[in-house]
Amino acid sequence: MKFAIVLFALFAVALADVQILRQDSTVEADGYKYSYGLSDGTSKDEQGELKSIGPDEQAIVARGEFSYTGPDGVVYSVSYVADENGFQPQGSHLPVPV
């Protein structure tokens, strides 16, 4: 009986909804910042700002990082820049372009 109760408790914990543990955001005229952390270990931090890319052109440049636990139990972390050249992720688990 004790085994069944423990098994049920573990199953209930595994099915529990993911909770937001922290969340913050700031939006200003020239940029933004936001971050969050979840109870499953997922987290994200990002900041963006306007960048002049020409005499009359501006683009938003976003820089950030996120991490999550994959189905294999490994924590994956990615840092990135997203700008006029596209999304450029980096992580030890990602292939490096040649």
Q: What is the pTM of this model?
A: 0.74
At 2, phi and psi to the nearest 5? -60, -40
Q: What is the pLDDT along the chain (98 residues), one digit of tens a residue?
A: 555 555 455 555 555 799 999 999 999 998 999 999 999 999 999 999 999 888 888 888 999 999 999 999 999 999 999 998 999 999 999 998 77
List the domain boundaries for the chain: 18-90
